[in-house]
Chains A and B, each alone.
Chain A
Amino acid sequence: MLWSKTRKALRARGVMGINQRNGDYILRYNKRSLYPLVDDKLKTKKMAIEAGIRVPELYGSIRTEQGISTLRKVVDTHRDFVIKPAQGAGGDGIMVIADRFEHYFRSASGRIITQDELEHHISGILSGIYSLGGHRDEALIEYRVRSTELFNRISYEGVPDIRIIVLKGYPVAAMLRLPTRQSQGKANLHQGAIGVGLDLSTGVTLGGTWHNQRIERHPDTANAVAGLTVPDWEDCLALAARCYDLTGLGYLGVDLVMDRDHGPMMLELNARPGLNIQIAMDDGLLRRCSIVEKRLEALKGEDRPAAERVEFSKQQFAVAGVVPVAAEQQP
């Protein structure tokens, strides 16, 4: 059978399926009671600040309809900011204001937005259209991350982010998510963003995936996506590894952004990270996770400091033959 051949080939490559992810990883490593920590971005942010993990600065939050009137005061001192739902998922409901123009605001894509529209959007967030299950939600107003020059070359509008899968504090897989015209500046794969695999030991970009297919170049900028080095890669890994200590979630997707001025920042955490990262890395998650699980078994569940875990991952998940593009090509 054609199917069984594909199935065997996927199994041989250690590709993780949804059933397996749900049953063997999420159900096993992630305690349900810990979910609110990551489902509510405000909670995550507060926790991260306490632990000294860098996050985009919070300008303010709005919880009630009456509170919407305080928006003007919150954003008064900022030319640019981001409004997002605290419990949103998949990048929905995020509005990025890049500039102001007299009484108007301008979105990242250049659209003029009135104060009324902004308030309506916040009201939508509060009523829970973007939250899972339609619960009442909270709107966060925070620092707008500015993309680095390097990333601007390979993304369209928006800010690329870095997704790192962390198993029991060990980074096992990483990818760069590049917004495209189709994803409307959002770094979400199911909306049409590109996923580019990263070599865990060096932070060098590998091939990419777009709509479950493998690609070499960014469809909007036509620049090759492979061979670039993510700056401050060590910091990124350390940040991701520490998020395990922060939340106690054993199977975690850590989303980082690279700010031009402040370096890597933790954007949000995900207790049910997607599986497309496998296509981006062209490697199975199951294969990588079982390496870490063997190590955990050998350690008999003893926790190791984050730095040591990162070292282990870098050593185990290096992709042979990765050569960064020559220095003059990098800005």
Chain B
Amino acid sequence: MGSVKFQARLLALVLLLLGVGSILYQVVVQHVPLSQDEKDPVWVIDAQVGFSAKPNKPVKVRMFVPPLGSGFTTLNESFISNNYGVNVNEEKGNRQVTWSSRRAEGRQFLYYRLMLTHRYAPTREVEPGPQFRQAPNLEGPERLAAEALLEPIRQHSADVETFISETIKRVNELENDNAQLLLGSDVSALNRARVVDLLLGLSHIPVEPVHTLRLMESQEQEPELWLRSYNGREWLYYNPVNGQQGLPDDRLVWWRGWEPLMKVDGGKSADMVFSVHRNEMSALQLAQTLRLKDASSFIDFSLYELPLPAQQLYRTLIMIPIGVILVLLMRSLVGMETLGTFTPVLIALAFRETQVIYGVMLFIFITALGLSLRSYLEHLKLQLLPRLSVVLTFVVIVMALMSLLGYKLGIGSGLSVGLFPMVVLTMVIERTSIVWEERGGSQSLKVGLSTLFVAVLSHLLMVWQPLTYFVFTFPGVLLCVASFMVMMGHYRGYRLTELVRFRAMVDGDKH
């Protein structure tokens, strides 16, 4: 017995761990939304390229666009242009779009739109970068200035990481003569980054610039420049202007390298405007959108993959164990008596079709009618089986009459009772009559009402939207439920009603 108990506990534990584990996996790794209302920000980035076409010359515009799948999920990407050929190619980790046209006239506008979200982003492997580089050749005063700057940097740094931040700090000390010499009159972020790169190059440390866009509502935005260096395990990001380390989450890497964002052949006075909008989208809807795009999302291998009618069915079926566990609690912990073990769950399912208030009324009315008919028929000394059959036939007739009456009165839709509630009601009447025969009217009333009570409760539980969503989305819940059921199998404690029942034995102690 002891070992059996141990086995049961082990089984319950395994079920619980599997259940909780699968839920955690879905939440933490697959980012499945915990509730149906969960919303995710969706970023819409519009890039507008404008230029004036030179007459009688072919036009070719090249622009960098973000690489796909770098910490974000791309929902949609579009290139909008009139009479331009569009071509996207990838090289050295950058993506570049090329718009081309034989000829164009006047001011031209090209648009690029990208929709992004953080959720369901595939975690990409970090591609390694160089860790050593050849020192550039530097002559004359620049060399001297650079050496002068590098000397204190070497002293104040412990490793590559601190070396880089120290270098950025020194270059940004604009009153420093050496820094001034190297920067010249240009103190733009790009130039500062170039000088940082130069100094680091002399120390054989490779860095590369990355151009990022900030994900915040804005009408106009300039790409922000960052530097990054590979330390053997990961990329370290630095802000070349203030030395800040680590790329904030709201930065999207657009392209990298020293090349400019855009090159326009056959055009002049080109400009470029970025605007960013934030939209909200239900996380669930997002997942469904992604599935259509065949992107990876949690929908793979989940019940959402079923065809819609099957999904609808499983939304109901999967809640049955939840109703069952309620019945289990009511019987084993509270000590309520119900007609048959799982009849309340069946009645609860029937309430889905009849609506709960109407269902309860129907239940009481029809059962009362059936039982009074039954007692009259008993008076006629009919045998059990014919008696039950007559009762059931009458129930069907009464229900048909009620539906007809309701239809004539225009209550219509509320009175449409499906086949399933009919069968359940019939069964309830049969069981109630049996209890009536065996235990008498008051007992059957008591049992009938407690059955109804449990049925209403389990119906409310089974149609509670947040719960149905949760159980349907995380079927691991069912394993936890099963684990609880196994544990209940060894519950030996008192039922709540027994505390009342045996109270006389305890009260006796006090006297």
Interface residues of A (CB under 8 A from B): 3, 6-7, 9-10, 13, 15, 17-20, 23-24, 28, 89-90, 92, 116-117, 120, 123-124, 127-130, 134, 190, 209, 212-214, 275, 278-279, 282, 284
Contact at B383–A124, with CB atoms within 8 Å? yes
Contact at A3–B496, with CB atoms within 8 Å? yes
Contact at A129–B384, with CB atoms within 8 Å? yes
Contact at A128–B384, with CB atoms within 8 Å? yes
Contacts known (A3-B499, A24-B492); A129 close to B505, Cβ less than 8 A: no
Report the nearest A residue to B381, measured CB to CB: A120
Residue B158 is within 8 A (CB to CB) of chain A in the complex: no
Contact at B434–A278, with CB atoms within 8 Å? no
New A-B pairs, 8, CB < 8 Å, besides A3-B496, A9-B509 = A7-B494, A18-B498, A19-B491, A28-B1, A92-B437, A128-B384, A129-B438, A279-B504
Return B438 CB to nearest CB of chain A, in Å.
5
Residues 472-511 of chain B: 1 if any A CB is under 8 Å from the residue's CB, otherwise 0? 0000000000000000011111111011111111101100
Contacts known (A17-B494, A19-B493, A134-B434); A278 close to B505, Cβ less than 8 A: yes
Q: Can you give 12 contacting A-B residue pairs, CB < 8 Å?
A: A7-B493, A10-B498, A18-B495, A19-B493, A20-B493, A23-B489, A92-B438, A123-B383, A124-B383, A127-B383, A212-B502, A214-B504
Contacts known (A7-B499, A28-B1, A124-B384); A282 close to B505, Cβ less than 8 A: yes
Residue B441 is within 8 A (CB to CB) of chain A in the complex: no
- Cα separation A325 to B198 with both chains bound (whole Å): 116
- Cα separation A130 to B383 with both chains bound (whole Å): 13
Interface residues of B (CB under 8 A from A): 1, 332, 335, 381, 383-385, 434, 437-439, 489-496, 498-506, 508-509
Contact at A23–B501, with CB atoms within 8 Å? no
Residues of chain B lying within 8 A (CB to CB) of residue A19: 332, 491-495
- Cα separation A99 to B490 with both chains bound (whole Å): 52
Contact at B492–A209, with CB atoms within 8 Å? no
Of A10, A13, A28, chain B has the most CB atoms within 10 Å of the CB of A10
Which one of A17, A28, A120, A212 lies within 8 Å of B493 (CB-CB)? A17
Contact at A17–B504, with CB atoms within 8 Å? no
Contact at B385–A15, with CB atoms within 8 Å? no
Contact at B384–A127, with CB atoms within 8 Å? yes
Residues of chain A lying within 8 A (CB to CB) of residue B492: 17, 19-20, 23-24
User: Chain A contact residues: over half helix, strand or loop, or mixed?
Assistant: helix
- Cα separation A17 to B509 with both chains bound (whole Å): 19
Number of A-B contacts (CB under 8 A): 87
Contact at A23–B381, with CB atoms within 8 Å? no
Across the A-B interface, the 3 shortest Cβ-Cβ residue pairs: A127-B384, A17-B494, A20-B492
Return B379 CB to nearest CB of chain A, in Å.
11
Return B444 CB to nearest CB of chain A, in Å.
13
Residues of chain B lying within 8 A (CB to CB) of residue A18: 335, 495, 498
- Cα separation A47 to B328 with both chains bound (whole Å): 38
Contact at A90–B383, with CB atoms within 8 Å? no
Report the nearest B residue to A3, measured CB to CB: B499
Contact at B383–A10, with CB atoms within 8 Å? no
Contact at A9–B383, with CB atoms within 8 Å? no
Contacts known (A7-B493, A18-B495, A19-B492); A212 close to B501, Cβ less than 8 A: yes
Residues of chain B lying within 8 A (CB to CB) of residue A278: 502, 505
Report the nearest A residue to B440, measured CB to CB: A191
Contacts known (A6-B503, A90-B438); A214 close to B384, Cβ less than 8 A: no
Residues of chain A lying within 8 A (CB to CB) of residue B439: 90, 92, 190
Return A198 CB to nearest CB of chain B, in Å.
17
Contacts known (A7-B493, A19-B492); A13 close to B499, Cβ less than 8 A: no
Of B1, B491, B501, chain A has the most CB atoms within 10 Å of the CB of B501
Report the nearest A residue to B489, measured CB to CB: A23
Residues of chain B lying within 8 A (CB to CB) of residue A10: 494, 498-499, 502, 505-506
Contact at A279–B384, with CB atoms within 8 Å? no
Residues of chain B lying within 8 A (CB to CB) of residue A282: 505, 508
- Cα separation A285 to B509 with both chains bound (whole Å): 17
Of A134, A190, A209, A282, chain B has the most CB atoms within 10 Å of the CB of A134
Residues of chain B lying within 8 A (CB to CB) of residue A28: 1
Return A36 CB to nearest CB of chain B, in Å.
20
Contacts known (A17-B493, A19-B492); A130 close to B335, Cβ less than 8 A: no
Residues of chain A lying within 8 A (CB to CB) of residue B490: 23
Residues of chain B lying within 8 A (CB to CB) of residue A9: 506, 509
Which one of B434, B491, B502 lies within 8 Å of A15 (CB-CB)? B502
Return A297 CB to nearest CB of chain B, in Å.
12
Contacts known (A17-B495, A90-B438); A6 close to B508, Cβ less than 8 A: no
Return A89 CB to nearest CB of chain B, in Å.
8
Which one of B437, B498, B499, B501 lies within 8 Å of A129 (CB-CB)? B437
Which one of B1, B335, B508 lies within 8 Å of A214 (CB-CB)? B508
- Cα separation A278 to B502 with both chains bound (whole Å): 8
- Cα separation A123 to B335 with both chains bound (whole Å): 35
- Cα separation A101 to B501 with both chains bound (whole Å): 44
- Cα separation A213 to B439 with both chains bound (whole Å): 21
Return B76 CB to nearest CB of chain A, in Å.
58
Return B252 CB to nearest CB of chain A, in Å.
57
- Cα separation A10 to B503 with both chains bound (whole Å): 8
Contact at B494–A130, with CB atoms within 8 Å? no
Contact at B506–A6, with CB atoms within 8 Å? yes
- Cα separation A68 to B278 with both chains bound (whole Å): 86
Residues of chain B lying within 8 A (CB to CB) of residue A17: 492-495, 498
- Cα separation A278 to B501 with both chains bound (whole Å): 11
Report the nearest B residue to A15, measured CB to CB: B502
- Cα separation A92 to B437 with both chains bound (whole Å): 9
Residues of chain A lying within 8 A (CB to CB) of residue B489: 23
Return A116 CB to nearest CB of chain B, in Å.
8
- Cα separation A89 to B435 with both chains bound (whole Å): 12
Residues of chain A lying within 8 A (CB to CB) of residue B508: 214, 282
Return B443 CB to nearest CB of chain A, in Å.
8
